[in-house]
């Protein structure tokens, strides 16, 4: 088995009979995520024998393979070589804009975040708009893109109890993470606004999601009339 570096990473974990989880750390950190993207890019550029696909997360990459063609030991050896070799990742120039309205009926947790942070609601909005966001991974629901980059001063831990029936388009935060919900669903994150921007296009075959992992995201505030009209894209 491949030996880990002094800090214990990368760490290799076999999953079932057809996947290998490569862990680079245990935190939401851009430097760690850059290593995830580097291995993802290396596998795309030079796929190892039996490789099927890779799924990036915050601090790990799931490497899926065909167990008829190869096995965990061979995949780990090949992947470890790619990790050691490294590969330069071309930073995406894509900046995706997401519009958001912060009116009180669309942001039921905005005031609570403000009070917990020692800020006014307007200061929370200003902080949220100033965040340096990028897409780190996709989650369990279609188009559910997890962004990192929420400013420290408005970061809040998840709620102890989830709220049901949260509308699609809700802009939610928890810790350093932010996302825009694409379906009506429960969440334990803090709802601070709502967006009319279409992130999930279930009818598209080429590009069903607005974001790619690695894209930067910028939030832009819009008025209630603009929100009610479905957004403004001038």
- Average pLDDT over the chain reads 92
pLDDT of 66 strictly over 60 = yes
Mean pLDDT, residues 80-87 taken together: 86
pLDDT of 35 strictly over 70 = yes
For the chain, what are the domain ranges?
Answer: 11-85, 95-228
pLDDT of 201 strictly over 90 = no
What integer pLDDT is reported at residue 208 of this predicted model?
86
Confidence of residue 195 (pLDDT cuts 50, 70, 90): very high
Q: What is the torsional sign of CA 198, 202, 205, 208?
A: positive
Confidence of residue 5 (pLDDT cuts 50, 70, 90): low
Confidence of residue 89 (pLDDT cuts 50, 70, 90): low
Q: Which CATH architecture has domain 11-85?
A: 2-Layer Sandwich (3.30)
Q: Are 210 and 231 in contact (CB under 8 A)?
A: no
Half-sphere exposure of 188 (CA within 13 A, CB side): 7
State which CATH number among 2.60.40.10, 1.10.10.10, 2.40.100.10, 3.50.30.50 fits the domain covering 95-228. 2.40.100.10
pLDDT of 1 strictly over 50 = no
Q: Model-level pTM?
A: 0.88
**Tens of pLDDT along 108-121?**
999 999 999 999 99
203-211 — which CB contacts under 8 Å span 24+ positions?
A: 208/142, 208/143, 209/138, 209/142, 209/143, 209/145, 210/96, 210/143, 210/145, 211/96, 211/135, 211/145
pLDDT of 6 strictly over 70 = no
Give Cα separations from 55 to 70, 88, 113 (angstroms).
19, 19, 33
Percent of the chain residues past pLDDT 90, beyond the cut:
81
Q: Of 218, 90, 210, whose CA–CA distance to 145 is shortest?
A: 210
**Tens of pLDDT along 113-148?**
999 999 999 999 999 999 999 999 998 888 899 999
Q: 129: how many CB neighbours lie within 10 A of its CB?
A: 15
């Amino acid at each position: 088995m491949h030996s880990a570096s002094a800090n214990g990473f990368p760490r290799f974990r076999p999953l079932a009979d057809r996947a290998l989880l490569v862990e680079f750390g245990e935190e939401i950190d851009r430097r760690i995520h850059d290593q995830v993207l580097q291995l993802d890019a290396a596998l795309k550029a030079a796929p190892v024998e039996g490789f099927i696909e890779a799924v990036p997360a915050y601090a790990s990459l799931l490497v899926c393979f065909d167990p008829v063609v190869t096995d965990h030991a061979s995949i780990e050896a090949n992947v470890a070589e790619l990790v050691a070799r490294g590969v330069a990742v071309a930073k995406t120039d894509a900046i995706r804009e997401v519009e958001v309205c912060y009116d009180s009926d669309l942001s039921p947790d905005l005031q609570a975040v403000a009070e917990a942070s020692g800020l006014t609601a307007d200061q929370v909005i200003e902080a949220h708009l100033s965040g340096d966001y990028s897409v780190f991974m996709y989650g369990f629901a279609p188009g559910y893109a997890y962004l990192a980059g929420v400013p420290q001063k408005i970061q809040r831990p998840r709620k102890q109890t989830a709220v049901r029936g949260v509308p699609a388009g809700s802009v939610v935060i928890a810790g350093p993470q932010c996302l825009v919900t694409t379906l009506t669903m429960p969440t334990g994150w803090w709802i601070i606004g709502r967006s009319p921007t279409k992130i999930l296009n279930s009818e598209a075959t080429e590009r069903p999601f607005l974001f790619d992992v690695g894209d930067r995201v910028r939030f832009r505030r819009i008025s209630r009339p603009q929100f009610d009209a479905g957004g403004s894209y001038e």
